[in-house]
Structure 1
Amino acid sequence: MFYKFAKTVVKIIFSLIFKIKVIGKENIPKNGPVIICSNHISNFDPPVVGITSPRDIHFMAKEELFEKSWLNKILTNVGAFPVKRGMRDRNALRNGLKLLEEGHTLGLFPEGTRSKDGEVKRGLAGAGFFAMRSNATVIPCAIIGTYKKFSPIKVVYGQPIEFKSMQTEKPNAQEVTDEIMDHIKRLLDENRSSMLR
């Protein structure tokens, strides 16, 4: 109930500040485990993905955000869970896999930190780990815009990523993440030019 309430409030606020356009949300399966992987350009990215996705999303968020009690309560109530940056956090990996096993949607920003120039950086292996260790559908997402007041923000959900061609090569988690990031970059390249349309 809190998630739906928070989503409604954030959607109203953001609709007054930004001109958000959503493309491809029909690509997100209505049922079953899903991993949504997006580029990361701003702290506004998680709520923007959250309000534009037709499904509730459990985001993996940096551990520091949970240190403040009021923010910890909000994040926990909307289904987010902490991850330690710069190291292999086994507890976070277990939490993510458990959510996927239960058929939920996991939200990831594989780059691990915001891109200062808006260009896609190399993603961390965690996204590939979840893709390899679960039966989840992986959906690439591209966020395009500057988050300036009243400016357009485009959120593009791509088609599910097919990893069948990679299975015979037995890729490692980093190689799978690289494939995911390539899909995100292509979405960005294909939709930047039409930003003002």
Structure 2
Amino acid sequence: MREQKRREARSWAQQLLYNFLRVIARIVAVAFYRIRVFGRENWPDEGGALVCSNHQGFLDPPLVGLCCDRQLSYLAKKSLFKFPLKGFIEYLNAIPVNRAGTGLDGLKETLKRLRSGELVLIFPEGTRSENGEFGQVKPGFIAVARKGKAPIVPVTFDGSFQAWPKWQLLPSIGVVHVMIGKPITTEEIAQMTDDELQSALQTRMDEMFQEVRYSRARSMNPRVHTTDKTQFA
């Protein structure tokens, strides 16, 4: 009974901290990044889902998290799970991944959370962008989605690269727009081959990235009236 009460207290405290930090992140995003979010209605209300996002810079995990009213789990390098970060990032639902090894420990925990009805964020490009562009989706997400029996929620944004690229020590003020796309359902996933699924996610995220980049460009320069969004690629 005592152990159960401890777990319940920890869970309550974790939710409180996560929700508090999400509110702070939203205030910062509005104040310093003039954030706009499109497609909030596409977040699943319940059940597990694999959230696949483009990866522009250091701000990306909290950027996606602040756009969602549900808690997200995140993949993080195992080397980060040391004092003083260990307890903090565990409280924020981080999943340790050993990039130098097989990564099976992270895969098992990811599948466990998907099957228990949680949202898990991954970056299918595999690394942060060198130039802010959306790159090639790697096939690693496919096995996770299939084994986890989870829909895929595509997310794209623009402006994170300009705000805090991987070689910059501190963040800059900027403009960030985010788009949450319609999920690729488990039924659709089951009907596709691996190549078709990889191509479908690539195409959908490519299109979303052009939309959100165009939206950001319009917000920064109202004189932009062209409908040819590819010029912002």
**TM-score normalized by the length of structure 2:** 0.75
Aligned-pair identity in percent equals: 29
Which secondary structure does the structure 2 equivalent of 1:29 belong to? coil
In the TM superposition, what are the counterparts of 1:51-62 in structure 2 within 5 Å?
51-62=66-77
1:110–1:177 contact (8 Å) kept in structure 2: no
Tell me which protein shows more strand as a share of its residues.
1
| Counterpart position of 1:181 | 202
In the aligned structure 1, how far is the partner of 2:191 from the partner of 2:62? Answer: 37
Q: Is the 8 A contact 1:38 1:141 kept in 2?
A: yes
Q: Larger Cα Rg: Structure 1 or Structure 2?
A: 2
Say if 2:37 and 2:177, in contact at 8 Å, map to a contact too.
yes
Q: 2:81 aligns with which of 66, 69, 94?
A: 66
Query: Offset at 1:133?
Result: 1.1
2:181 maps to which of 152, 158, 178: 158
Matches within 5 A, 1:35-114: 35-67=50-82, 69-85=83-99, 87-114=101-128
Cα displacement string for residues 20-65 of structure 1 (whole angstroms, at most 9, x for unaligned residues): 1000011011111111110000010001111111211001112232
**Structure 2 letter corresponding to 1:33:** G
CA apart distance, 1:165: 5.8
Q: Helix, strand or coil: the match of 2:85?
A: helix
Aligned length: 194
Kindly provide the amino acid, as one letter, of the partner of residue 144 in structure 1: D
Give the number of the structure whose residues are more often helix, by fraction: 2
Maintained 8 Å contact 1:126/1:177: no
Kindly tell me: are residues 9 and 101 of structure 1, through their superposed partners in 2, closer, same or farther at Cα, counting changes over 3 Å? same
Is the 1:25–1:54 contact (alpha carbons within 8 Å) kept by the matching residues of 2? no
Structure 1 distance, partners of 2:25, 2:188, is 40
Q: 1:165/1:17 Cα in 2 relative to 1: closer, same or farther (>3 Å)?
A: closer
Unmatched tracts of structure 2, length 5 or more? 1-15, 164-170, 220-233
Structure 1 131/95 Cα, relative in aligned 2: closer, same or farther at 3 Å? Answer: same
In structure 1, the gaps of 5 or more residues are none
AA aligned to 1:5 is F
In 1, Cα distance between equivalents of 2:181 and 2:56: 18
Aligned letter for 2:209? Answer: L
Cα RMSD between the aligned structures?
2.1
8 Å CA contact 2:177–2:215 kept in 1: the answer is no
Contact 1:120-1:181 at 8 Å conserved across structures: no
